């Protein structure tokens, strides 16, 4: 089990939790080699990402006032005191979904069915539009047998292409284990990428606090609608497993829904403001003395309403499991360690390697399957 420095999470003057320093369990010498290699890979990619941030995402002086203004809608005393108010649809009955289905291909034991679902999402701010087009789901369905449950898979940032997502999220293992699998294409990703975007997910992670918050809110709306629909369709429990950005959303869902069969966030960030500040401090703009549109504390407070750390766990701790990388430099270990502490120290699996080089995927899958067996999902 990891240890966190001081164990108790420190709260600053603005009510935002500081991320504790993670002290990880001992690792074998060979694991240390793999983790060291993964750290180098992550660091190299981070340097490339920082070049992109410098060239494309650092706001000019003329944009800074607008960015500061964009944060104000999430900094109201009401939302800061009660972050759940950002998601009022949680207290309304789920919508009756209009689902168009088409079988895409046969797979051993069943079929992959494409689901196109008309969204009834209403944005928090009328000035910020939601994503374009229907909700898209690749649904792996057991036929003729009934599933033991369904796992809703949530991909990471810049992903959103179901065949690749299925590989990275180990869909085959979950399907062979007896679960139906539903792969959601998150807003602004994959086939839902809006015209003019330079890459999948660009409009999800724009340097605009309100728009990013709106994207998270829309994703949570879709996850809730799908969890209800999938449970009605199968008559079996539904859980959520997410990777990176998907892990963030899965962890947030665990603090918003009380009807999930299980939740498994993999390499999950828990404070977008912390990540944004880390990226900013490594840019040439910052090293040259350039000003930030928002300070570190302002960033962390602005993103707090949808941080998993702002919402208490609403399902049994026995039904959650965290998976994290020892050498992760994209989402540093402080993030999953903070979630582990916030959730009351549930089961956690640390793999050798990093965010981009997760060694031991077979052991990771086995640990997750063992966990699902222990809670009688499988």
43-102 per-position pLDDT tens digit: 888 777 666 665 555 556 666 677 777 788 888 899 989 999 999 999 999 888 999 999
Backbone angles phi, psi at 351, to 5 degrees: -105, 155
The single residue listed with the structure tokens 């965290």 is 322
Joined together, the tokens standing for residue 74 give 């999430």
Q: What is the mean pLDDT of residues 228-249?
A: 96
- Name which of 189, 183, 191, 190 is nearest 166 in CA terms: 183
Judge contact between 265 and 339, C-beta under 8 A: yes
pLDDT band at residue 11 using 50, 70 and 90 as cut-offs: very low
What local confidence, expressed as pLDDT, does residue 71 receive? 80
Domains of the chain listed by start with CATH number: 3-374 (3.40.50.1820)
b/e map 165-178, b = 16+ CB within 10 Å:
bbebbbbebbbebb
Chain centroid offset of residue 227 CA: 16
pLDDT band at residue 15 using 50, 70 and 90 as cut-offs: very low
């Amino acid at each position: 089990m990891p240890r966190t420095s001081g164990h108790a999470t420190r709260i600053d003057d603005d009510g935002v939790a500081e991320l504790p320093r993670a002290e990880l369990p001992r690792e074998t010498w060979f694991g240390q080699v793999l983790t060291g290699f993964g750290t180098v890979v992550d660091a190299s990619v981070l340097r490339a990402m920082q070049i992109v941030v410098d060239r494309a995402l650092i706001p000019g002086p003329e944009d800074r006032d607008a960015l500061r203004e964009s944060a104000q809608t999430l900094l109201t005393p009401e939302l800061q005191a009660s972050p759940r108010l950002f998601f009022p649809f949680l207290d309304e009955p789920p919508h009756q979904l209009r689902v168009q289905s088409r079988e895409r291909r046969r797979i051993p034991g069943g079929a992959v069915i494409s689901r196109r679902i008309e969204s009834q999402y209403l944005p928090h701010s009328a000035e910020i539009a939601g994503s374009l087009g229907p909700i898209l789901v690749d649904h792996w369905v057991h036929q003729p047998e009934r599933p033991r449950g369904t796992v809703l898979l949530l991909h990471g940032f810049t992903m959103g292409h179901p065949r690749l997502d299925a590989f990275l999220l180990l869909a085959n293992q979950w399907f062979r284990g007896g679960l139906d699998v539903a792969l959601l294409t998150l807003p602004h990703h994959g086939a839902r990428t809006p015209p003019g975007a330079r890459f999948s997910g660009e409009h999800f992670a724009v340097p605009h606090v309100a728009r990013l918050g709106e994207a998270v809110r829309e994703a949570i709306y879709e996850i809730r609608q799908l969890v209800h629909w999938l449970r009605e369709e199968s008559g079996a429990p539904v859980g959520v497993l997410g990777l990176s950005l998907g892990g963030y959303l899965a962890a947030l869902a665990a603090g918003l829904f009380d009807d999930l069969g299980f939740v498994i966030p993999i390499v999950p960030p828990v404070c977008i403001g912390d990540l944004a500040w880390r990226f900013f401090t490594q840019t040439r703009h910052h090293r040259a003395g350039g000003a930030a549109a928002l300070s570190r504390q302002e960033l962390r407070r602005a993103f707090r309403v949808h941080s998993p750390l702002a919402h208490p766990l609403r399902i049994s701790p026995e039904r959650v499991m965290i998976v994290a990388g020892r050498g992760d430099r994209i989402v540093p270990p402080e993030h999953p360690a903070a979630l582990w502490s916030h959730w009351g120290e549930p089961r956690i699996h640390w793999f050798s390697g990093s965010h981009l080089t997760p060694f031991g995927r077979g052991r990771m899958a086995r640990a997750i399957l063992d966990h699902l067996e222990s809670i009688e999902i499988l």
